[in-house]
Structure 1
């Protein structure tokens, strides 16, 4: 809703053509079905490239205290996450490396981020493609019922 109110000022500042292009992009992207591709999250962009970039910029290691049972569903948390969800979204492709038992069982881990991010044209489609979901009750319950795990961001805009 806030984004839609802000777009009402575009015709007065940039002209009607910009408003028409923005309104069309918004209508098209908001009516596309959410599309998720696990190969994209585990592929070059989500896995290999991010892994090399992260290890180059900030060397760290994940200390795993227990092996997860692949037959169960999990709600994981990630805190602190930095500004909005960028750090968390970057590491989402590495969850399969950190929790191979979940990946080998054919299950998936989805990140729950703020619903507002899914109202931005084209960004919402990319977020779904990377494995992010809106962090609301319906989305989280839907993923858990299918046997997948969900990792909602703790804190964020609500704090």
Structure 2
């Protein structure tokens, strides 16, 4: 596949012309096949582990173990207290292939003091936040070498820790719940911790499409409030390419699709973007992401105010939030002509 093919977003309209999909040639280099297999394995992890759990449940001999596991899972609070990180798993070679599929590259603006704690705000969320998972939940991109002494913890929905076996995989990979309790516990446990939050969440995923970065941030104050309360430094993280790896059906505000997605989010706490990427054997139709580079810029830390009274806390939160938004804007302006050359418009804070 040529460079032009990698960079050029493929529209839904193009896939319906009859000339597509473009099939992958048989002589694809073996290393690229390994990278695709690594990504496919990560993408199917939940399905594979749920199938394994169902298989175990179907064997009466294992029922006592299953009952014990379920009781343990209900009582276990590891997702709220810092996970059960297994560095051997995070350092497996498969994650290097996973990162190289896109590839994902981490670029830092400044060193981080390991005697302090940090909150990384990851933007944009994209459809599935592959850049966040590859960069911060594995060592494939070298996060621990980039920031010695810093332990990065990717935070995800609490509901993910209710899925049998999948919850254990997340905990071993160092992921935790994005609940307020979890954030506070991790940041107050020891110095050198950095929690990573895809701030825009499900709402932002509905606006993820190639060529634009529309951020849901204007009213997202919770992570800033935690920074003020714990003294953790805020680190803006801007991912160029996260929105490029999938195409999404038109779901403009007011459309029936957007109405359905918002209703789903209000009811269940999550929503489903209607997206498509590529397949294993073709370049245009499927649920795998396109091979397009994701460059993750990790900005300079912003120090929160100290000694703020309860009376002045909300005002301090709003000022810090404004500083954070401006820092994101500065990162975008600095790197947009390098990593967003195919942009349709400039980054915008829409909600």
TM-score, normalised relative to structure 1: 0.67
The 1:42/1:125 distance shift into structure 2, 3 A limit, reads closer
1:129 Cα deviation after fit: 1.2
Question: Following superposition of structure 1 onto structure 2, how do residues 13-92 of structure 1 map, counting pairs within 5 Å?
Answer: 24=67, 26-32=70-76, 34=78, 36-44=84-92, 48-55=93-100, 57-91=101-135, 92=137
- Equivalent residue, structure 1, for 2:183: 140
1:52 Cα deviation after fit: 2.5
CA deviations 1:112-155 (Å, max 9, x no partner) are: 11111111122112111111111011111111012211111222
CA deviations 1:32-54 (Å, max 9, x no partner) are: 4535134235421xxx3212232
CA RMSD in angstroms, aligned pairs only: 3.1
Highest relative contact order (Cα 8 Å, sep 6+), 1 or 2?
A: 1
| Counterpart check, 1:157 vs 2:205 | no
The 8 Å contact of residues 153 and 176 in structure 2, kept in 1 or not, is answered as yes
The 1:85/1:133 distance shift into structure 2, 3 A limit, reads farther
Structure with the larger helix share: 1
Gaps of 5+ in 1: 1-16
- Equivalent residue, structure 1, for 2:210: none
The 1:156/1:70 distance shift into structure 2, 3 A limit, reads same
Q: Distance in 2 between matches of 1:131 and 1:158?
A: 25
TM-score, normalised relative to structure 2: 0.33
Gaps of 5+ in 2: 1-56, 205-351
Structure with the larger strand share: 2
- Equivalent residue, structure 2, for 1:122: 165
Q: Distance in 1 between matches of 2:119 and 2:144?
A: 13
1:101 Cα deviation after fit: 6.0
The 8 Å contact of residues 76 and 151 in structure 1, kept in 2 or not, is answered as yes
Q: Distance in 2 between matches of 1:96 and 1:58?
A: 11
1:26 Cα deviation after fit: 4.3
The 8 Å contact of residues 120 and 194 in structure 2, kept in 1 or not, is answered as yes
The 1:111/1:53 distance shift into structure 2, 3 A limit, reads closer
The 8 Å contact of residues 87 and 173 in structure 2, kept in 1 or not, is answered as no
